[in-house]
Amino acid sequence: MTDVLGLLESVDPVRVRAADGRVVQVASDDVVALKTVPPRPVSTRAVRALEHAAALAWPGSEHAWLESWLVRAGGGFTARANSCAPLGPVPEDGVQRVRAWYAERGLPARFTQPDRLAVDLPGWPVIDRSRVLTAPVADVAGAEVDVRDEPDDEWLGACRHRGRTLPPGAAGVLRAVVDGELGFARVTRGSEVVAVARGAVTAAPDGTPWLGLTVVEVAPRARRQGLGGRICAGLVAWGAERGAQGAYLQVAEPNTPARALCAAAGFTDHHGYGYALEP
């Protein structure tokens, strides 16, 4: 007898998808036992690798490396594009250098604080907690959608930030990526863009390509029709064609409806993060 560990896809016959993607099929009469096991804990190394790829996918309109820390600025548009990503050991005088870098740009110092990678910053409040959800691209990829290399005026006009039109300078942040490839997806009805999303393929330090899904927006009159899932699945297919092995989304922790929709689409919880803001 032998074992196979993976995701149970069917029971008659028993089909299990292993971690390497292969599917093992066994006749039901040959199975001795089935046992539910909890998800494998996410390692610190895996968190660091995904955070690295995600930082390259959203580097702001200006960025710089302070040794293994990536500081990013984007005119204040999104906390992610205006925060330091601590992706390695603490540089000498690292916090002071980060504060000086942001002060030169008239911005408050802010640190992304991922689980198990957080910088010790006593007195700095941590706000805006989010969860990072991941999925193998093979589990999510769907029908093709219109994906372009640049966001034109129609795409930018359909995009929203916290329910409002984009502020000045936002387009520069959306167009920025480090050592990666961007795709701007849209769904149109007639001449109207009713859904948009941004995809970025970047690599972790071990070379694993990841697809980051951000700025997923559906026009209010077109919601509850599956367009959000459709445009994300289409972008995942686009990312898979460019070598992406996994996809990730970053969802605000209190947004339980969005997290439930992501879970239904095949995404599982990877880790969380917040932002430490200079007091």
Is-contact 91 97, C-beta < 8 A?
Answer: yes
Is-contact 86 117, C-beta < 8 A?
Answer: yes
Show the tokens assigned to 91.
């540089």
Q: Please name the residue that has the structure tokens 């984009």.
A: 166
Is-contact 99 83, C-beta < 8 A?
Answer: no
- Cα separation of 277 and 127, whole Å? 8
Pairing status of strand 6-11 against strand 69-73: unpaired
CB atoms within 10 A of CB 185: 24
> For the chain, what are the domain ranges?
1-37, 44-126, 132-272
- Cα separation of 197 and 217, whole Å? 6
Please report the pLDDT score of residue 37 as a whole number.
Answer: 67
pLDDT tens-digit profile of 37-72?
656 678 999 999 999 999 999 999 999 999 999 999
- Cα separation of 97 and 252, whole Å? 29
Q: Please name the residue that has the structure tokens 């502020």.
A: 167
All residue ranges of the chain with pLDDT < 70 are 19-21, 37-40
- Cα separation of 265 and 233, whole Å? 9
The string over 156-167, giving b where at least 16 C-beta atoms fall within 10 Å of a residue's C-beta and e elsewhere, is: bebbeeeeeebe
Is-contact 237 141, C-beta < 8 A?
Answer: yes
- Cα separation of 155 and 48, whole Å? 32
Q: Tell me which architecture the domain covering 132-272 has in CATH.
A: 3-Layer(aba) Sandwich (3.40)
pLDDT tens-digit profile of 126-165?
999 999 999 999 888 777 899 999 999 999 999 988 888 9
- Cα separation of 277 and 191, whole Å? 42
Cis peptide preceding 13, ω within 30 of 0: yes
E strand spans, 149-267: 181-189, 192-203, 209-218, 246-252
Cα–Cα distances in angstroms (integers) from residue 278 to residues 96, 109, 195, 212, in the given order: 11, 5, 35, 27
Please report the pLDDT score of residue 34 as a whole number.
Answer: 79
CA nearest to 87, candidates 121, 128, 40, 119: 119
- DSSP letter for 81, please: G
CA nearest to 239, candidates 269, 211, 279: 211
- Cα separation of 31 and 148, whole Å? 48
Phi, psi angles (nearest 5°) of residue 107: -120, 150
Please report the pLDDT score of residue 40 as a whole number.
Answer: 67
- The letter for the amino acid at 238 is W
